[in-house]
Structure 1
Amino acid sequence: MSTVDKTEAQWREELTPEQYRVTREKGTEPPFSGDYNKVSTAGVFHCICCGTPLFDTSTKYESGSGWPSFWAPVAEKNVATEIDLSLGMRREEVHCRQCGAHMGHVFPDGPEPTGLRYCINSVALDFRPEGGGD
């Protein structure tokens, strides 16, 4: 259950059109187009909508999918999932638990130790490098 309660008008005012499309309308950015696909600097990726910490670069890996991929979230309590039956497929959609923002999907084809691939849209994230630098 999300705990951030804003109107659609407030979200539209705070987010760019692309951030709104992906996070509030369950869109997807084109593969290999996001700013964070190749980031390897130590730090944490936060929800672009509410700032909740979601993924750490220590769990990031190159999946070849074109989107930032992680084998685990920072904390299970920070993400929620639900079944997505759109596009004629059965997938598991990933949301920020705090605000309900759509992040991407999780698949069971990732590396150990979890075997999961959290495939996340860059535009849904705000990267904060360790130590505050770029």
Structure 2
Amino acid sequence: MDKIDKPLDAWRDELTPEQFHICRLGGTERAFSGEYYATRTPGIYQCACCQAPLFDSDTKYDSGSGWPSYFQPVSNEAVRELEDSSHGMQRIEVRCARCDAHLGHVFPDGPRPTGLRYCINSASLTLVPKTDPA
């Protein structure tokens, strides 16, 4: 998949104010406020900015954190992980590998089989429901 690199003004024109704040400026939505934190619809969660597939609903679980949580991305190539020492904390930031959108953070307190919790902002995602085979 080709990388996408656009100026901030182009992203601002394409995204909602909340998506722009979270995806392009590294913001965070309030816990329990996002569209997908409690969603159980089967499907693929894509990047809200570039539609790259990021997470499968089969890996989603209720972490109790108030944000959609997944124990792994759809592939190792789907996301990038970066050290984040902002806000006086040491965390690992998760970004879309295709367009560099800020998605959330990953923590080492998730369920098996990976032990990881990808804690992702709903505003950085769009859900494409799985269709039943005819």
Q: Which interval holds the TM-score relative to the shorter structure?
A: over 0.9
- 1:106 Cα deviation (Å)? 0.1
For residue 68 of structure 2, what is the amino acid of its counterpart? P
Find the counterpart in structure 1 of residue 48 from structure 2.
48
Match of 2:7 in 1: 7
**1:113 paired residue number:** 113
CA distance in 1, matches of 2:13, 2:41: 30
Say which structure is richer in helix.
1
Aligned to 2:26: 26
**Helix, strand or coil for the counterpart of 1:77?**
coil
- Tell me which residue corresponds to 1:16: 16
5+ residue gaps, structure 2, are: none
Match of residue 102 from structure 1: 102
**Structure 2 CA distance for aligned equivalents of residues 16 and 56 of structure 1:** 24
Give distance in 2, aligned partners of 1:105 and 1:8: 22
Q: Calculate the aligned-residue CA RMSD, in Å.
A: 1.1
Q: Which residue of 2 aligns with 1:74?
A: 74
Give 1:131 deviation, angstroms: 1.2
What is the TM-score when the length of structure 2 is the normalising length?
0.96
1:39 aligns with 2:39: yes
Q: Show structure 1 runs of 5+ residues with no match.
A: none
**Equivalent residue for 2:62?**
62
- The percentage of aligned residue pairs carrying the same residue is 54
Partner SS, residue 54 of structure 2: strand
Deviations 1:70-122 (A, max 9, x none): 00000110100000000100000000000000000000000000000000000
Partners of 2:131 and 2:49 lie apart in 1 by 22
- In the TM superposition, what whole-angstrom CA distance separates every residue of 1:14-51 from its partner, at most 9, and x where no partner exists? 00110000000000000000000111111000000000
Alignment match, 2:130: 130
TM-score, structure 1 as length reference: 0.96
Segments ≥4 residues shifted beyond 3 Å: none
Count the aligned residue pairs.
131
Shift of 1:60: 0.2
